[in-house]
Structure 1
Amino acid sequence: MNMASFYRYSGKRYNDALLALGNVRIGTLHDFRREEHKKGIADSNEGKKTVSHVIKYANSDDGHSIHFDAIEKFGAIRGRKGASIILENVHLSQDFNYPDCFVHCSSFEYSKVAMSQFGGAESCVEIFDVNSFYYRLTETLSAVYPVRLLALKRVVYMERVEQWDGSTWGVHPALIKEPIFSPQVEVRAIWQPRISGPIAPVVINDVGLIKFCRSVPLPE
């Protein structure tokens, strides 16, 4: 699938290293929770969310109901087959804390507003061949730590308490950020480790990435 360009807003020395050496830092989801990161990067709730469903009243004798689907989905109670069940003022919730994974972030928008969201940004690199860049980056990362590319998608800006949609668990926890971050228009590549154990951010140098990037003037 063809994609529009992505943009990396960062300090000049980091973007210069990308263009000269193919230098890329691939972070981890849980590492983003650290307060030491600059504004726009640190978020203590990365990878976390809650899905909830409220039942004011439901009677199994009234026929099929989304509320009883919720009871089964959330694993709340197990009724005897054929038994009548009445539910009143029930609040169901399921917490998610997604396991650590590798993450590389860019912006989908070339604008001064987007750039202002990344603390310390003073230069911009355009990734103009997105598919080739992330295919190569996945291969290079896999040579260091076995991974599979889980997603290459835009972030969804929403509150971390999500109402159950009636069938699924909704937006992937690793793709959620609070609405206050929405001007970043962030897009994420997410890699899932193929082996268990703790992971940490990885810095790689791959000159094969350079041909997919170029320096562009700061947006006005």
Structure 2
Amino acid sequence: MPTNLGAPLFKYLRREHATRLLAEGILRVGTLHEYRDVGRYGNRVGDSKEGSKGTMLKVDRLDVMSKDDLPEFVRNSFEVGSGKFTFINSTFLVTEDSPDFYIYSVTKRFSAEAMRNLGYDACVRIDDPASFFRALSHSLRHKGSFQGLHSCIYMPRYTPPDKQHNIHPALIKEPEYEGQQEQRAIWQPASSKPRPVILACRKARNYCSRVD
């Protein structure tokens, strides 16, 4: 469910990038999958499992004579022949991977500590999110269509079969990141392989101010 665009939002940036956004409307719209590059972004911003979720079950021992003996969520993934076989200290895992999207991440509350932990030293307040993302979407119109602003859900990516859910994998983040209070503006890309883009969106600057 998209988040209400009425309340002010905050964007953590490096100081020079905050200055360019406020002066010229220059900003970067990234992609969901690029943040899997932990080598580039580090563990504070990057996540090698970004955009994925799964159903997981660990078993100490499981004797199998037929598909009916397997956990229901993996039965279609196995071919069971004649005879008996045993799983010892095994993990059954079925994963779901999100398509790549254009992403512009913000937070719904300013935290100097969270800003520093993410490696940034400046913050821009988006005073009018509806107008800001309308302007941004216009600049991105040939590359993608706006799908709304969505709050990240902080929970384990891999859950037991009895706790399956319909939360989109693009919105899941591990509980340890909950302090970031991240919200994601999402665009469905026109291309199957979107790449990060630098935009000059002069209108967007009109809806922002500096947080000192």
TM over 0.5, yes or no?
yes
Q: Does 1:201 align with 2:196?
A: yes
CA RMSD of superposed structures (Å): 2.9
Structure 2 residue aligned with 1:134: 133
Q: Please tell me whether the aligned partners of residues 35 and 48 of structure 2 are also in contact (alpha carbons under 8 angstroms).
A: yes
State the alpha-carbon separation in 2 of the partners of residues 32 and 15 from structure 1: 21
Q: 1:149 aligns with which of 146, 149, 167?
A: 146
Q: Does 1:173 align with 2:172?
A: no
Structure 1 residue aligned with 2:65: none
Structure 2 residue aligned with 1:98: 98
Q: 1:2 to 1:9 in 2, by over 3 A?
A: closer
Unaligned stretches of 5+ residues in structure 1: 55-69, 78-90
State the alpha-carbon separation in 2 of the partners of residues 153 and 103 from structure 1: 10
Q: Please tell me whether the aligned partners of residues 107 and 114 of structure 1 are also in contact (alpha carbons under 8 angstroms).
A: no
Q: Please tell me whether the aligned partners of residues 74 and 92 of structure 2 are also in contact (alpha carbons under 8 angstroms).
A: no
Q: CA deviation at 1:174?
A: 0.7
Q: Please tell me whether the aligned partners of residues 164 and 170 of structure 1 are also in contact (alpha carbons under 8 angstroms).
A: no
- Residue identity (%): 32
* TM superposition score normalised by structure 1: 0.74
Q: Does 1:49 align with 2:53?
A: yes
**Corresponding residue SS for 1:20:** helix
State the alpha-carbon separation in 1 of the partners of residues 34 and 180 from structure 2: 19
Q: CA deviation at 1:52?
A: 4.5
Q: Please tell me whether the aligned partners of residues 114 and 185 of structure 1 are also in contact (alpha carbons under 8 angstroms).
A: no
Structure 2 residue aligned with 1:86: none
The amino acid that maps onto 1:157 is: Y
Structure 2 residue aligned with 1:109: 109
* TM superposition score normalised by structure 2: 0.77
State the alpha-carbon separation in 1 of the partners of residues 171 and 161 from structure 2: 17
Matched residues, number:
189
Q: 1:127 to 1:38 in 2, by over 3 A?
A: farther
Matches within 5 A, 1:33-72: 33-34=36-37, 35-38=39-42, 40-52=44-56, 71=72
Residue deviations 1:168-211, cap 9 Å, x none? 74211111111121111111111111343x22100001111011
Unaligned stretches of 5+ residues in structure 2: 59-70, 77-90
